[in-house]
Amino acid sequence: MNLQKRIPALLSGILLLFCMSAVSGYADEYQNMRDEVVMLVNEQRTANGQTPLYESEFLNHAAQIRAEEIKVTFSHTRPDGRKGYSIMEELGGSYWYVGENIAYGYPTESSVMEAWMDSSGHRANILNENYHAVGIGVFESENIYYWVQLFTDGEGLSPIYTSGNLNIDNACNSEDAALILTEAANAGAGGNSILNRMQKSFADINRDSKVDSSDAAMVLQYAAYAGSGGTESVENYFKLS
């Protein structure tokens, strides 16, 4: 069996549940790969006239469990015989629409995305207008990567990244400003980037296609505002369109 070619069948479902609890602070050594897959998904959605999806911490956690499960049973059915989307219920999730793409044997984010987009069923999931949130599972074992995309309508979920919040702590504060300043200093010195593409997109507060000290200053200004009890979002506070 050629692992570079195998892609499974499509799963897409509709179910009504009633509660959602977020999993806080979920990130691991695969986070940069998750972020890049989401960037590639949104590039495809934008090119095809669909709104971008936001990356969900809850869905990342659910998809990561599924990625480890598909090493055992490469199927939309879980190793214990339950449907793949039962992971949502198991973790306390709710949704109106849900879909799952799975694959293995693809070594990079771009290669697995290319394979999914070349498959009509998986492409339909990626471009589905009913989905607003996505989570990515990535698991490597014996140099083989296992991949999961878990899509929902976003019922009860919130984004893992927001403007100025780069370190997945649900706050825009001095820690984020420090990351921006370090990134800018490294770029100026020709050094390595410390932020991935996803993080850079949320670090560019003033939307001038650069990550620099002016963005850090805006983060600190907003942090002072939020610290004094302000509740506007970064976008509303700076009147960003």
pLDDT at 27 (0 to 100): 60
Q: Where is average pLDDT lowest: 9-23, 29-43, 75-89, 149-163?
A: 9-23
Per-residue pLDDT averaged across 37-54, rounded? 98
Q: What pTM was estimated for this model as a whole?
A: 0.87
DSSP secondary structure string, 8-19? ---EEEE-----
Render pLDDT for 50-77 as a digit per residue (tens, 0 to 9).
999 999 999 999 999 999 999 999 999 9
Do residues 53 and 214 touch, judged by C-beta distance below 8 A? no
**pLDDT value at residue 241:** 62
7: tokens are 């892609």
* Band of residue 5 on the pLDDT scale cut at 50, 70, 90: very low
Instruction: Please give the pLDDT value at position 147.
Output: 98
Per-residue pLDDT, averaged over 86-115, amounts to 94
Indicate the average pLDDT of the chain: 88
pLDDT at 22 over 60: no
Percentage helix, strand, coil, to 5, in the chain? 40, 15, 45
Digit-coded pLDDT (tens) for 207-224:
999 999 999 999 999 999
By C-alpha distance, which of 179, 223, 171, 169 is closest to 204?
179
pLDDT at res. 28: 77
**85 falls in which pLDDT band (50, 70, 90)?**
confident
**Residue 163 confidence (pLDDT) above 70:** yes
> Which tokens go with 110?
């771009």
